[in-house]
Amino acid sequence: MITGRTRVYALVGHPIRHSLSPAMHNELFRRLGIDAVYVALDVRPERADEVGPAIRTLGLAGCNLTVPFKERVLPALDGVSAEAACAGAVNVVLNEEGRLVGHNTDGEGYLRALREELGVDVSGRRCVILGAGGTGRAVGAALAAAGVASVTWLNRTEARGAAAMEAIAPRFSGVRFAAGPLAAEAFAAQPWSLVVNCLSGAGVPSVVGFPVAGLAEGAVWTDANYWMADPPLLAACAARGVRIQRGIGMLMHQGARSFELFTGRSVDSDTIRGVLDIGGW
């Protein structure tokens, strides 16, 4: 029963019709007896400057942010967590009595999923991240904090990859950072031991021809996007014995952390799996 006391949370992005977040959060609210509702708000990218004021004006209790708002909402916030400041992007905004505070659960969610599903220790790995948007920056920062040997961003706009490198590199003196074009030649330059595809659907044509034969022994290819039926190069990697991971695990873990920030109630991965009805993960 929705009443005038029901707290309202939202997912803000474009496009968002594919998102599993509303189903996940609303079922968790129901199971735990929390008087709240979670809705999806499709907001045009050109209205990004209005997102922060809208959260205040409408009295939303909190929001998840997805493409393309993770970086563009920052000027409207009153504060950010250490993780969000490092990543230069937020995917959670809490409305603390009119004060908007940004958090980032993407990096933590990615690492938790990688450890749980594949038992992968990222320390010492040479990592390449395809895409330097909000998700790519957050994952890169989390990998650096976890002790990888190197992080390289390959992006269609090279300047964006360079910006991610310049923002994050000073915080991690023991990690090598680089940036380059989203091109087969740049991908083939090193025998990567961890690949993270953080590109949206529009970036798929750029990577379908990347050579996976040169990946390092024991390499892992991961995809942050969970909604693609056939993510690029996953099948090719699997055929060569490269371990692969789809994005649903990252969704579960970053969503669980978001839910904890929203409500103060923790949920484990088994609960999230049950909510999303994805038994067997």
Domain ranges of the chain: 7-104+249-276, 107-246
Query: Please, are residues 115 and 143 in contact by the beta-carbon 8 Å criterion?
Result: no
Q: Evaluate the omega torsion of the peptide bond into residue 68 and state whether it is cis, within 30 degrees of 0.
A: yes
pLDDT at residue 80, as a whole number: 97
Angle of the 106-118 helix axis to the 248-263 helix axis, nearest 10: 130
pLDDT at residue 272, as a whole number: 84
Share of the chain above pLDDT 70, in %: 98
pLDDT digits (tens, 9 = 90+) for 96-108: 999 999 999 999 9
Cα atoms in the Cβ-side hemisphere of radius 13 Å centred on 155: 21
pLDDT digits (tens, 9 = 90+) for 242-281: 999 998 889 999 999 999 999 999 998 788 888 877 544 4
Kindly state the helix (H) or strand (E) to which residue 136 belongs, with its residue range: helix 134-145
Mean pLDDT of the chain: 92
Cα atoms in the Cβ-side hemisphere of radius 13 Å centred on 99: 5
CA 44 to chain centroid, in Å, comes to 20
pLDDT at residue 280, as a whole number: 43
For the CA atoms of the chain, what is the radius of gyration?
A: 18
d(CA 63, CA 54): 11
Q: What is the mean pLDDT of residues 167-172?
A: 94
Query: Please, are residues 64 and 84 in contact by the beta-carbon 8 Å criterion?
Result: no
Q: What is the mean pLDDT of residues 145-153?
A: 97
CATH of 7-104+249-276, one of 3.40.640.10, 3.30.1360.70, 3.40.50.10860, 3.40.50.12660: 3.40.50.10860
Report how far apart, in Å, the C-alpha atoms of 154 and of each of 178, 197, 267 are. Answer: 9, 10, 34
pTM of the model: 0.91
Query: Does 229 have pLDDT greater than 90?
Result: no
Q: What is the mean pLDDT of residues 57-78?
A: 94
pLDDT digits (tens, 9 = 90+) for 129-140: 999 999 999 999
Query: Please, are residues 255 and 25 in contact by the beta-carbon 8 Å criterion?
Result: yes
Neighbours of 152 (CB within 10 A): 22
Share of the chain above pLDDT 90, in %: 80
pLDDT digits (tens, 9 = 90+) for 31-67: 999 999 999 999 999 999 999 999 999 999 999 998 8
Question: Into which CATH architecture does domain 107-246 fall?
Answer: 3-Layer(aba) Sandwich (3.40)
Domain pair 7-104+249-276 / 107-246, same fold: yes
Q: Which of 13, 65, 69, 70 is catalytic?
A: 70
pLDDT band, residue 204 (cuts 50/70/90): confident
Catalytic residue status for 120: no
Q: Which residue has the tokens 């014995």?
A: 241
